Amino acid sequence: MTQGACCTAITVKGDVAKAADIRQLFHETEKAFGTLDVLVNNAGVYKFLPLEDITEDEFHREFNINVLGTILATKEALKHFGPNGGSVINISSIASAGEPTAAIYSGTKGAVDAITRGLAAELGPRKIRVNAIALGGVETEGPTAPASSAAISRGR
């Protein structure tokens, strides 16, 4: 646990596309902080490829982390929000409108936008706000990392 002048943070390692890892994340969070008020779905990956280079593995990697991870984390958060509700913030992208060589990534962020709208309507009556922030380009290690790197890019 890290403590700063204004806040405390913990790190929990896991795969957001696996329900068991998500449960562990929330268990550790609850153990450290007691309650949950806000969930930020920020995990995300991308690999910009021309259509002819897209593989099934890359499709599933991006959709599992960017979309399934958002669903699983939000589903688990429902169990931990108190009677006053909570807030879910999904990180989307302006790329959800479609970008060259980003068919998969744009599709995942379009899905996040649709999920956000649907869950906002579904969960609003339970005092749970669901919003998305559509970021522009953010420089990460992704575009400059060697092809053999296993680095996960975050932020766009």
CB environment 63-94: b (16+ within 10 A), e (fewer): bbbbbbbbbbbbebbeeebeeeebbbbbbbbe
Distance CA 44, CA 116 (A): 16
Task: Enumerate domains of the chain plus CATH numbers.
Answer: 37-135 (3.40.50.720)
Active site annotation includes 105: yes
Tens digits of residue pLDDT in 88-126: 999 999 999 999 999 999 999 999 999 999 999 999 999
User: Which residue bears the tokens 């609003």?
Assistant: 124
The one catalytic residue among 46, 105, 112, 128: 105
**Entry pTM:** 0.84
> What's the confidence (pLDDT) of residue 138?
66
The pLDDT confidence band at residue 4, using thresholds 50, 70 and 90, is low
> What's the confidence (pLDDT) of residue 142?
59
User: What are the angstrom distances between the C-alpha of 1 and each of 11, 28, 33, 72?
Assistant: 7, 11, 11, 24
> What's the confidence (pLDDT) of residue 2?
61
> What's the confidence (pLDDT) of residue 16?
97
Tens digits of residue pLDDT in 41-82: 999 999 999 999 999 999 999 999 999 999 999 999 999 999
The pLDDT confidence band at residue 6, using thresholds 50, 70 and 90, is confident
> What's the confidence (pLDDT) of residue 148?
36
> What's the confidence (pLDDT) of residue 136?
85
The pLDDT confidence band at residue 35, using thresholds 50, 70 and 90, is confident
Beta carbons within 8 Å of 7's beta carbon, 6+ residues apart: none
Res. 9: pLDDT tops 90: no
Coil/strand/helix, residue 36:
strand
Tens digits of residue pLDDT in 13-33: 999 999 999 999 999 999 999
